[in-house]
Amino acid sequence: MPKVTYDKKTGTSTVLNEKGKTVYYKDGTKVTYNSKGKTTYGKDGTRTVLDKKGKTTYGKDGSKTVLDKNGKTVTDKDGYKTVLDKKGKTYYTPEGDKNVMDKNGETWYWTDGDKWTLNKEGKTEYKADGSKTTYNKQGKTEYDKSGKNLTEAARLAAEKKLADKKPVVAKEPSKTVSQIWKERTGTDWSEAKKQGLSDGSAKSNLSLLKKLNSGSLDKDKQLPAKMETVKATDMKIPYTGPTEIKGVKDIEKKKKGGAIKKMKTGGMVNSNSKIKASKKATGKVGGITKAISKVVVKTASPKGRVGGTSKAPKKAIPKAMYGASMKPQMMKKGGMTKKKK
């Protein structure tokens, strides 16, 4: 039968039985002593066990804290466990994953066999198949299970592919219709508008571009400009005075009525020689301007003075009529008649 004692001064009561000793305190706590050790039940619902292994505290929320020679282990109500020991801190998940934090850095052990390390040099991921991936200041590097640097190999392959790739030739900017017109026809863009081939709209420009591309408007295929024929009698040429012919010092000048005022001396004058103005009309198709060139030319005489010997026509007027002597045999039928004294 258990033995119970009560201490009025402290307000505690003690129960002794075959299992051990139990002390009840006034504040509501309870302490048991038995072969396993000391167990304290706090008024907040916690329980602390002191035994040979160490101290174990059970929280009201279901957590558990163990202090032993290896260190401190805290397990929360969800099953996550944290171990603090001389090596560092180890974190366990309910799934079996483990995270170790020590002087070397941080290491994660995953249930699928992978392992991650995080330290000053960077992060390394070890795969269960033996391959790994590193992340550091150089960037991301992948290695296969034999240790071959896959990232470097991929980089070299990419560089080789880029080197083997043919360079892309940049296309020249397309030319405008006006530029193509000038190249093909050799005329200004205004000429296309004058000919009614373009009014500046996109539709007319596209139509003109088709003609240019066909080659029908090329300058080497253009027909020559048509010449407009103008009769000499239709032209009005103002009189500019006597015209001097190169090689002839004096020209016949006639008064009104047809009387001869002066003839060339020192040689026979071919009366069959004629002086005329050559009139040339020029123009272009569709144009309205008529350019008339007036060129004075001397027609070739059928006969004339050659090398100092005069071969004058039958009706030529001899010099003798102008103060020079004349032999009778020089007068022929059809010529001038000698006056009788």
State the residue for tokens 């160490």. 54
- Measured between alpha carbons, how far is 337 from 317 in angstroms, rounded to an integer? 11
| pLDDT of the residue at 329 | 47
Q: What is the pLDDT of residue 325?
A: 46
State the pTM of this model. 0.41
pLDDT on residue 158: 79
Q: Is 221 helix (H, G, I), strand (E, B) or coil?
A: helix
Residue pair 181/189 in contact by the 8 Å Cβ criterion: yes
Structure tokens belonging to residue 325: 């002597």
Mean pLDDT, residues 115-124: 93
Whether the predicted pLDDT of 284 surpasses 50: no
Q: Please, what's the b/e burial string for 187-204 (b: 16 or more CB within 10 A of its CB; e: otherwise)? A: eeeeebeeeebbeeeeeb
Contacts of 179 (CB under 8 A, 6+ apart): none
CA distance 281 to 227: 7
Q: Which amino acid is at 10?
A: T
Residues 115 and 123: beta-carbon distance below 8 Å: no
Query: Which pLDDT tens digit goes with each residue over 269-282?
Result: 455 544 444 444 44
How many helices and strands, by DSSP H and E, does the chain display?
4, 23
**Which H or E run includes 205?**
helix 202-214
| β-bridge partners, 80 | none
Give the pLDDT band of residue 205 (cuts 50, 70, 90).
confident
Q: What is the pLDDT of residues 19-36, one digit of tens each?
A: 889 999 988 899 999 888
In sequence order, the β-bridge partners of residue 14 are 5, 23
Q: What is the pLDDT averaged over residues 315-334? A: 48
Please, what is the end-to-end C-alpha distance for the chain in angstroms? 213
